[in-house]
A and B are shown apart, each in its own frame.
Chain A
Amino acid sequence: MEETLKRFIAAKQSLYDNLKQWKKASGKKIIGCHPMDIPEEIVHAAGMLPITLMGFDGAITHATRSLQPTIACNILLENLEMCLNGTLDFLDGVIFADVCDTIPILSDIWLRHSHHVLHHLMVMPKHLNSPSSRRRVSEQFLRLKAAIEKQNNKKISDRDLKHSIGVYNQNRRLLKRLCDLRRCKPGLLSASDVSTVVTAGMLMRKEDHNQLVEQLLLELENLPVPTSDMHVKLIVSGSLCGHCDSVLSVIDAQGAYILEDDLYIGSRYFTSLTNEYIDPIEALAQRYVDDIPSPTKFFDANAWANYISNMVIRDKADGIIIVMRKLCEIHADDFPCIQNKLNNGGIPCLMIEIERAGVSEQDKTRIQAFIDMLGVQ
């Protein structure tokens, strides 16, 4: 198991070096998908490799000249930095969806400064509780498909799309099995391990990732439940558009385990499957609309709050940690509803704000105290 995990770690840590080598060897194109809500299957069906742009740890020296750090979260700044400093020059294109007000600004700045042949911004409907919403989503996905076809000078067939949907669904099923194992065999896999596996999948061919995850599952499913003193059961929610590894490390170190999550680099990425039996664009639009609640999509004000609360109740978790990225206004807008719902339900909740520097000492103390409050006492 350790050897297999190392391969995921290597993929995650190499970030783009492995991808550059792969591109050179295969001659294929790589498209950067800015979080969130990009229908990667369309890119995959075109024979290109979609990867997720998830920021980086280095110094930010260029991005703040173009994008005010007071309005942009660290993911936007870090991705823009990589665009401006040439790290992402190897990409053949980049796709955005306007999940927040700052993304279109980022997209405009990106367009001025990059030389990617494909540059596409999807303008998605926000209110999804009307009949026209699904149609609008399909229209946006068709626009994306047309843009890719034009750039490649090649049509994407429904057959190719359905095949890609199948590959991605298989990935989602495998990752779901991994999370089920995490719940049923506490101590077998840390929260950081699961995050690493999911992250690695965003930086490699899905087919290769499927093989690796299958191998890992085979190894894990044969292992007995480890004896552990992990007794605090948590739900972790939030961290839109990027990872929250610093928070997960603290949770792991404190001996709590995660029953379920809706993290972007977590269950949010793979919970919903795409219907493989209907028109593929319609199916992708259906998945977009019917996916787990997100602050990027509006059904009713309490949809996400109810979803989170139900996770805690259904899984009989001891409490929930909500990870909010600093300056993520869409998450901040929903948080009061979530907090009220959890407070009214008597559900212990801790909100941690994350940014570039990871988790501060105060926040480590808060997470540790929260877990101890649920367990040690």
Chain B
Amino acid sequence: MTWYMGIDIGSAFSKGMIVKDTEPVCFHILRSGINYRTTANLIRQELLSRVNLSQNDISDTVATGSGANNVDFAGRKVSDIICTARGMNSLYPQVRTIIDAAGQSTKLILIDSHGRVTSFVVSEKCAAGSGWFIEVIANVLRVDLNEFSQLSRLSKNPVAFSTSCAVFGESEAISRVAEGIPKEDIAAGVNKTTANKISSLSKKISLEEPCTICGGGALNTGLVQAIELELKIKLLLPPQPQTLSCLGAAVIARTSSS
């Protein structure tokens, strides 16, 4: 039995996974906070305690994500796009397009049957189309992200936001609240705007089905529906969609070792 670890230090959430040979065994998710090194170590401690192992029992660890450089115990660092692709391929080898709706940015990744990335696009510098925009508006509506998702699905008349900019969007959302627009319509409007942004991104790449979605955005079922409507496709929804990158990191650790 050989154990491998994958750690994904993201801008909003950090995730870790241990795999045994080829099977995922356990995962852990924490808010990244402001000290990525501490977060990485906390995740490692939690994972190791769950499987009753020490770091020496882990054959290799691969780190990924924007905070990967803070994972001192990782053997190597690999970009999150590659890790996400490999992770998704290990679960669904038939998938050809991945929409990674993450906290800071959105990525569209094309992969081949071996899980190799053939092309990708990443949203530009601003938060438009990313999880951050949704978090900002959820805050305006005084709901958490779970409630936000459920709320948006109740909407019959989504608000049409004039902007996808998180800063201006926040102002617009506050104005809508002041006008008495129902929360669910505002939430649905945000999901629709985010889906539009993802749709624009998809124009830069030749989307190929089957498509899937991962990242924190995949937990927002209202957003998933909005994307499906916008792109006119059916999205495969993996279990624990936030953990695909750390799963992929662990898979790469295993593949490199063997």
Contact = CB atoms under 8 A, between A and B. Distances in A.
Interface-central residue, A361, A363, A371, A377, by most chain B CB under 10 Å: A377
B122 A373 contact: no
B80 A369 contact: yes
Given A361-B104, A365-B105, A373 B82 contact: yes
Given A361-B104, A373-B117, A377-B116, A366 B82 contact: no
Contacts of A363: 122, 125
A333 interface: no
B122 A362 contact: yes
B82 A377 contact: yes
A365 B82 contact: no
B7 interface: no
B122 A366 contact: yes
B122 A372 contact: no
Interface residues of B, number: 18
Contacts of B107: 365
Contacts of B123: 362
A25 interface: no
Interface string B107-128: 1000000001100101111000
B155 interface: no
A15 to B, nearest CB: 27
Contact of A365 (B79, B116, B117): B79
A256 to B, nearest CB: 12
Given A361-B66, A362-B123, A362-B124, A377 B81 contact: no
Contacts of A373: 81-82, 116-117, 120
A372 B83 CA distance: 10
Interface in B87-138: 104-105, 107, 116-117, 120, 122-125
A14 interface: no
B127 to A, nearest CB: 10
Contacts of B117: 369, 372-373, 377
B252 interface: yes
Given A373-B117, A373-B120, A377-B116, A365 B81 contact: yes
B145 interface: no
A213 B105 CA distance: 43
B79 A369 contact: yes
Interface string A341-377: 0000000000000000000111111101101110011
Q: How large is the interface on A (under 10, 10 to 19, 20 to 34, 35 or more residues)?
A: 10 to 19
Interface of chain A, main secondary structure: helix
Contact of B105 (A362, A368, A377): A362
Interface string A79-123: 000000000000000000000000000000000000000000000
A273 B107 CA distance: 44
Contacts of B122: 362-363, 365-366, 369
Contacts of A364: 66
Interface string B206-220: 000000000000000
Nearest to B116: A377
A371 B116 CA distance: 13
A363 to B, nearest CB: 8
B141 interface: no
Nearest to B62: A376
B26 interface: no
B104 A372 contact: no
A240 B78 CA distance: 30
A365 B252 contact: no
Interface string B69-88: 00000000011111000000
Given A362-B122, A362-B123, A362-B124, A372 B105 contact: no
A228 to B, nearest CB: 15
B81 A372 contact: yes
Given A361-B11, A362-B123, A371-B79, 13 more contacts: A361-B104, A361-B105, A364-B66, A365-B80, A365-B81, A368-B79, A369-B79, A369-B81, A369-B117, A372-B78, A372-B82, A373-B81, A376-B78
27 contacts: A361-B11, A361-B104, A362-B104, A362-B123, A362-B124, A363-B122, A364-B66, A365-B79, A365-B80, A365-B107, A365-B122, A366-B120, A369-B79, A369-B80, A369-B81, A369-B82, A369-B117, A369-B122, A372-B79, A372-B81, A373-B82, A373-B116, A373-B120, A376-B82, A376-B252, A377-B82, A377-B117
Interface of A: 360-366, 368-369, 371-373, 376-377
